[in-house]
Amino acid sequence: MTKRARIVGVGRYVPEHVMTNDDLEAIVDTSDEWITDRTGIRERRIAADHESTSSMGAEAARRALASAGLTGQDIDLVVCGTCTADHSFPAAATLIQHEIGAPGAAAFDVNAACNGFMSALSVATQFIASGQSTRVMVVGSEVYSRILDWTDRGTCVLFGDGAGAVIVEATPEGERGSVDALLLRSDGSQAGLLYANGPATPGDAAAREAKVVMNGAAVFKHAVVAMAEASAEVVAQAGYSVEDIDLVVPHQANRRIITALADRLGLPMEKVFLNLHKYGNTSSASIPIALAEAVAEGRLKAGDRVLLAAFGGGLSWGAMTLEWGGVRHPEAATADASIART
């Protein structure tokens, strides 16, 4: 019998250090009013020197295990969505696999920028559908603070650090609480709109400097259209209407993008989960952090129809519909920030 994937555990970790919009005024030409009006962001978290993508991801993963009532030994695959891994190699997922005590589990990263978690979650559902995996840890973790140009007010005000994780496990076809439909797309011809160089970029050392470069206006336009079209398509694939959606959990990039997405879909903002005012754009981490907080706030209940949508550099985007099955120990997903293990 074909297996489908359902989420059974969620967890999040955000660093303790809070950088407010007022703090940014001291280092770049901006203001709280300017940032809040254009983005909806009021503050973001910044990783401590000892924290990394893998350490934060491992902490979020441990909390997801607790919420599912599982241990690392129950996990047979770890997939981490990130574009700020600790090293060029090994993958952050392998370090997370070790930290959570999942011996023998396969582990690899997926880099699709802000669409990384959606891509990783889609990979996990396919591993389950094929029978290759039974339980998969899907992590989104980023330390964008280390690849920002802190003199560029168009980018440095947008991003923050953090990690989120979900556990998906196999469930028989026909059981409630599983992924209904998914879609991934990309357009490499538009890669120059949002990118960061890396250690293997051709050219001298200056060319290889890993700093985020973004054409904000163009990305905004592409993001709204792409996410709306992908969302409408997966809703149709799932066999229900947009009005049937109980909660939209979008990538937390910009409030104006999210509002425009809701308008295009014809959904009231009451059905959209927002937490970007607290964390800014945490890239691959934003959707799993939001899912964990939605559980903590009682915004998700068994049987709810949920729409996930994301957009990022690449350009890359995706959407997914799922029926919420409920986590086993939701209180385990609500822990406040703590120091991630080194």
* Chain mean position to CA 228: 18
Catalytic residue among 114, 115, 222, 254, which?
114
Which whole-number Å values give the CA distances from 328 to 6, 11, 282, in the listed order? Answer: 12, 12, 26
Identified catalytic residue from 156, 251, 254, 275: 251
Residues 6+ apart with CB under 8 A from 35: 21, 24, 41, 42, 157
Using omega within 30 degrees of 0 as the cis cutoff, is the peptide bond preceding 90 cis?
Answer: yes
Catalytic residue among 21, 111, 275, 281: 281
Evaluate the CA torsion angle 122, 339, 53, 105 in order and state its sign: negative
- What is the rounded CA–CA span in Å between residue 111 and residue 226? 19
Find all residues with CB under 8 Å of 219, minimum gap 6, and list them.
193, 194, 311, 315
What's the Cα-to-Cα distance from 306 to each of 6, 63, 180, 271, rounded to whole Å?
12, 22, 10, 10
Active site residue 114: yes
Catalytic status, residue 115 = no
Q: Would you call 201 exposed, middle or buried from its count of C-beta atoms within 10 A (0-12, 13-18, 19+)?
A: middle
Catalytic annotation present for 254: no
Q: Assign 203 to helix, strand or coil.
A: coil
Active-site residue set = 114, 251, 281
